[in-house]
């Protein structure tokens, strides 16, 4: 289909001339900007793609950001151009303004994600497979066969609304039938959410992911491509599994002390879920966990189903399972040891400013760095008889929607801080299992460390309730693991023998807890309790 008419080249010249001075102050204020912790060396507009609209044209600006250290990044910034400033910048942090001497007027760039006309144009473009042309490249809109069924009546208007919980991407819901995720960071290559989502929904026919209905892709004059958007079926839900789990934890803490004491009694020597996952769940613990237990087992079943689906194609090189190799194990070990050294260095630096009890525990753990290194070296120095597959890559309770009767898994982009090529590497499914088990540990303590009513919990209260939280985590995570193995199927064969799978799981749990420790030391020192306990328990297994 023909593209909307280009905006005039003079405007692009104005943008190129005026925005580089404004963007270094503007970008760090945007929630979607991922370089807040880095010093910006320069920023420039490298392209502007027209989405039409009169008298105020809508554009998608591609902004290249270079940093004082490390690789640069490219961001997509949708704007509506207004020559009469209606919304002063100070009232709209998503907009900015400049004076054009060439035009003799102030130019206001409003955040297009709040403008219905632009949002309509995005969906219309996908439905009609429009190519939107820019100065140096174009955005191609594509649809899938699933769009017709999801769209239902094409004559029915689907009112767009941008979701307020904007993070690294912008999400727009169309009439509770479709949702468009607009990627703010433009990376060379196919976005993993589109690649894996399309594979799972169209080729593996895995029902517990949102079906892919279309996409937006930018291509420059040299043929380089970057995914800018994915259109999916809207999933009616009651929130994510994190919110659902926090409610279950809160209910467990409301249980009478006697019942909790009986339920939280763990077998002698049981220090973490790996130690008790094969144990029969005591009746008191089953009563204590209540209805949430069945939901945990269902989530494990869906997780195993996802992994089985991702391991189901032995022909497509992008998805076919591959064995562990010596070179992969060496790279994995080097990555773990580098992270360990960096995080434990920060731990030693922060010991004097941690609360006394955490400082003592941190000092004790820091003294075990060589022991932790040996865990990685000893296991990864031996042959691992298992397969590597595509995985979710950033799996936790916040990446799963709860419908009220089932779970739907979302956001297959992987860890956004890692380069796209690194996120596409095949890994053990145990990495996802570890991510979810660590998420249960966080959920068990979240209500204590950040109570919903905003009050502060005393150190004495935390010491009294921490064993209850640890027991809740141990039983829930162990039930998740048992149900996962019971339902693993092809995912289980990809993980190899049970002994190898458990060894890999332990390594990934340790790797994840070390990462968490580094994050908490830098961002939430009062939460250091969680990864400290997680690492200590893994070392005592």
Contacts of 195 (CB under 8 A, 6+ apart): 318, 412
Residue 220 has pLDDT above 70, yes or no: yes
Whether the per-residue pLDDT at 268 is higher than 80: the answer is no
Q: Tens of pLDDT along 153-203?
A: 777 889 999 987 657 899 999 999 999 999 999 999 999 999 999 999 999
- At residue 106, the pLDDT reads 86
Q: What is the mean pLDDT of residues 351-357?
A: 91
Q: Is the pLDDT of residue 263 over 80?
A: no
100 and 198 in a single domain? The answer is no
The answer on 215 and 302 residing in a single domain is no
Query: Looking at the domain assignment, is residue 98 inside a domain?
Result: yes
How far is residue 213's CA from residue 202's CA, in Å, rounded to a whole number? 10
Give the DSSP per-residue string, 389-445: B---SS-SGGGEEE-SS-EEE---S--TTS-HHHHTS-B-THHHHHHHHHHHHHHHH
Band of pLDDT at residue 304, cut at 50, 70 and 90: very high
Average of per-residue pLDDT across 31-52? 92
Please count the structural domains in the chain: 3
Token pair in block for residue 340: 């360990």
Residue 262 lies in a domain: no
| CA 471 – CA 476 distance, rounded (Å) | 8
List the Cα angle 521/524/527 in 5-degree steps: 90
Q: Is the pLDDT of residue 90 over 80?
A: no
- Among 247-256, 283-292, 376-385, which stretch is predicted with the lowest mean pLDDT? 247-256
Domain assignment of residue 148, yes or no? yes
d(CA 225, CA 219): 4
Two tokens, residue 246: 């926090």
Computed over its alpha carbons, how large is the radius of gyration of the chain? 25
What is the rounded CA–CA span in Å between residue 493 and residue 485?
10
Angle between helices 356-366 and 529-539 (to 10 degrees): 40
Q: How confident is the model at residue 308 (pLDDT cuts 50, 70, 90)?
A: very high
d(CA 428, CA 387): 7
Q: Is residue 485 part of a domain?
A: yes
- The Cα angle at residue 21 between residues 20 and 26, in degrees rounded to 5: 90
Among 26-30, 230-234, 413-417, 421-425, name the one with the lowest average pLDDT: 413-417
Q: What is the pLDDT of residue 417?
A: 76
Helices 529-539, 498-523: crossing angle, 10 deg rounding: 150
Query: In this predicted structure, which of 49-63, 360-374, 496-510 has the lowest mean pLDDT?
Result: 49-63
Q: Decide if 408 is inside a domain.
A: no
pLDDT score at 540: 83
250 falls within a domain = no
Per-residue model confidence (pLDDT) at position 56: 77
Question: Mean pLDDT throughout 332-353?
Answer: 96
Q: What is the DSSP letter of 188?
A: B
Q: Is 210 a domain residue?
A: yes
Query: Does 160 share its domain with 202?
Result: yes
pLDDT at 102 over 90: no
The pLDDT assigned to 452 comes to: 66
Q: Are residues 306 and 425 in the same domain?
A: yes
Q: What is the pLDDT of residue 5?
A: 43
344: Cβ contacts below 8 Å, ≥ 6 apart: 366, 369, 372
Count CA atoms within 13 Å of residue 34 on its CB side. Answer: 20
**In this structure, are residues 97 and 120 in contact, taking their beta carbons and an 8 Å threshold?**
no
| Phi (first) and psi of residue 377, to 5 degrees | -65, -45
Do residue 297 and residue 336 come from a single domain?
A: yes
pLDDT digit string, tens, across residues 419-453: 888 999 999 999 999 999 999 999 999 988 887 66
- For residue 127, tell me if it sits in a domain: yes
Q: How far apart are CA 448 and CA 456, in angstroms?
A: 9
Domain boundary among 62, 89, 115: 115
288: closest CA among 253, 322, 316?
253
pLDDT above 80 (res 458): no
* Ranges 5-9, 67-71, 186-190, 466-470: which has the least confidence: 5-9
d(CA 244, CA 295): 10
Specify whether 110 is located in the same domain as 125.
no
111 and 155 in a common domain: no
Cβ neighbours around 193 below 10 Å, total: 23
Residues of the domain holding 86: 9-115
Q: Is the pLDDT of residue 2 over 60?
A: no
Residue with tokens 């409610």: 247
User: What CA–CA distance (Å, rounded) separates 53 from 78?
Assistant: 13
Q: Are residues 165 and 22 in the same domain?
A: no
Percent of the chain with pLDDT over 70: 91
Pairing status of strand 40-50 against strand 58-67: antiparallel
Burial of 111 (0-12, 13-18, 19+ CB in 10 A): buried
Going by their DSSP bridges, the two strands 105-111 and 73-82 should be labelled as antiparallel
- 214 pLDDT band, cuts 50/70/90, is very high
**Do 449 and 305 have their domain in common?**
yes
Q: Extract the tokens encoding 377.
A: 């070296």
What sign does the dihedral 255-256-259-261 (CA atoms) show?
positive
Output the average pLDDT for the chain.
89
Q: Which of 23, 85, 91 is nearest to 56 (CA)?
A: 85
Q: Are residues 462 and 445 in the same domain?
A: yes
101 and 138, same domain (yes or no): no
52, 86, 115 - which closes a domain? 115
Q: How far apart are CA 180 and CA 229, in angstroms?
A: 7
CATH of the domain at 354: 3.90.1200.10
Q: How far apart are CA 157 and CA 145, in angstroms?
A: 20
Last-in-domain residue among 91, 115, 139 = 115
Tell me, yes or no, whether 134 and 46 share the same domain. no
Q: Per the omega criterion (within 30 degrees of 0), is the bond before 280 cis?
A: no
Helices 459-486 and 498-523 pack at an angle, to 10 degrees, of: 150
Q: What is the pLDDT of residue 87?
A: 46
Helix/strand/coil for 48: strand
More confident call, 58 vs 463: 58
């Amino acid at each position: 289909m023909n593209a909307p008419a280009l905006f005039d080249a003079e405007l692009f010249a104005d943008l190129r001339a005026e925005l580089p001075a404004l963007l270094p102050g503007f970008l760090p204020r945007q929630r979607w900007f991922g370089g807040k912790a880095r010093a910006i060396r320069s920023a420039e507009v490298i392209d502007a793609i027209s989405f039409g609209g009169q008298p105020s044209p809508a554009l998608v600006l591609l902004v290249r950001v270079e940093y004082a250290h490390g690789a640069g990044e490219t961001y997509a910034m949708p704007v509506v151009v207004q020559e009469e400033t209606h919304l002063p910048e100070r009232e709209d942090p998503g907009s900015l303004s400049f004076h054009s001497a060439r035009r003799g007027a102030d130019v206001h760039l409003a955040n297009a994600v709040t403008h219905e006309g632009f949002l309509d144009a995005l969906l219309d473009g996908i439905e009609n497979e429009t190519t939107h042309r820019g100065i140096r490249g174009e955005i191609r809109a594509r649809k899938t066969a699933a769009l017709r069924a999801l769209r239902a009546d094409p004559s029915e208007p689907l009112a767009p609304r941008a979701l307020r919980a904007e993070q690294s991407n912008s999400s727009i819901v169309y009439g509770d039938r479709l949702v468009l995720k607009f990627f703010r960071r433009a990376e060379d290559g196919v976005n993993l959410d589109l690649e894996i989502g399309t594979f799972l929904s169209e080729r593996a026919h895995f029902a517990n992911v949102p079906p892919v209905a279309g996409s937006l892709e930018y291509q420059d004059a040299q043929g380089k491509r970057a995914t800018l958007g994915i259109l999916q079926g809207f999933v009616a839900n009651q929130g994510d599994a994190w919110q659902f789990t926090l409610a279950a934890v809160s209910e467990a803490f409301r249980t009478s002390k006697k019942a909790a004491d009986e339920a939280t009694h763990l077998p002698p020597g049981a220090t973490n879920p790996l130690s008790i996952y094969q144990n029969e769940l005591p009746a008191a613990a089953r009563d204590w966990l209540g209805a949430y237990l069945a939901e945990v087992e269902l989530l494990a079943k869906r997780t195993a189903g996802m992994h089985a689906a991702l391991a189901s194609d032995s022909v497509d090189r992008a998805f076919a399972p591959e064995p562990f190799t010596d070179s992969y194990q060496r790279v994995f070990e080097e990555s773990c040891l580098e992270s360990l050294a960096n995080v434990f260095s920060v731990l030693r630096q922060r010991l004097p400013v941690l609360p006394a009890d955490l400082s003592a525990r941190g000092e004790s753990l820091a003294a075990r760095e060589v022991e932790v290194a040996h865990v990685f070296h000893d296991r990864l120095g031996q042959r691992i008889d298992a397969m590597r597959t595509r995985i979710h890559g950033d799996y936790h309770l916040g990446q799963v929607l709860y419908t009220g009767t089932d779970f739907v898994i979302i956001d297959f982009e992987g860890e956004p801080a890692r380069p796209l090529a690194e996120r596409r590497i095949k890994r053990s499914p145990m990495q996802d299992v570890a991510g979810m088990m660590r998420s249960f540990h966080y959920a068990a303590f979240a209500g204590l460390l950040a109570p919903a009513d905003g009050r502060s919990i005393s150190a004495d209260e935390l010491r009294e309730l921490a064993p209850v939280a640890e027991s809740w985590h141990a039983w829930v995570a162990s039930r998740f693991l048992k149900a996962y193995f019971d339902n693993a199927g092809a995912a289980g064969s990809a993980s190899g023998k049970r002994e190898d799978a458990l060894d890999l799981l332990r390594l990934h749990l340790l790797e994840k807890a070390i990462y968490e420790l580094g994050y908490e030391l830098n961002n939430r020192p009062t939460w250091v309790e969680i990864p400290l306990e997680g690492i200590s328990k893994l070392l005592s297994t």
